[in-house]
Structure 1
């Protein structure tokens, strides 16, 4: 039996430890694939976890993400999970009215915005 909680972020820990250079594939600009190894992805997510804590977020708080399925979105997702923050993903394909209603009810403390979606975020 393991001596730690079996949380989703442990998938990334396992990948970094045992398959560090194996590639994670995400969507990149213009539909091209973006590749990053599990170990560097974990390192980037861990640094971002620290930044979220520096913003004053605590386990149980919520962060919303408004982003496409990019490497940066994956980093935010794992960063939040790694410190017990709930990641509330917003679908950029929804109408502004739907997004605004979701944000109003979710009690998110932070909104992480992906490249190219700043205008949508500002309209919220």
Structure 2
């Protein structure tokens, strides 16, 4: 298995497109599977269309589902931080993408994005792993 850890800054965006990093990582690796994993308790990874509003719509929907108030038992950090710890139950911390001839087989409008609502920690790590087929 080949693996690499990349650092991501989420201080300006709640979603960060990782597609370019995934493509670069998979290039020249042949056929197999690429896992994109976020080793954090308050972030997730999704595959969706970006740039046409879907990424902002996802954040709006998550903020409606996970309001930032005092209802959470996990209550340290900024107000509503407990919601950040529920996020990975809705947006999984990993996705697996088939790769053929070094190219991730994403659909035309699909992008791999890091999803992070946590305002307390804008520095994230993302682990890319490749298993050859």
Higher share in helix: 1
Q: TM-score, normalised by structure 2?
A: 0.29
Q: Which structure ranks higher in relative contact order (CA pairs < 8 Å, sequence separation ≥ 6)? A: 2
Higher share in strand: 2
Q: TM-score, normalised by structure 1?
A: 0.30
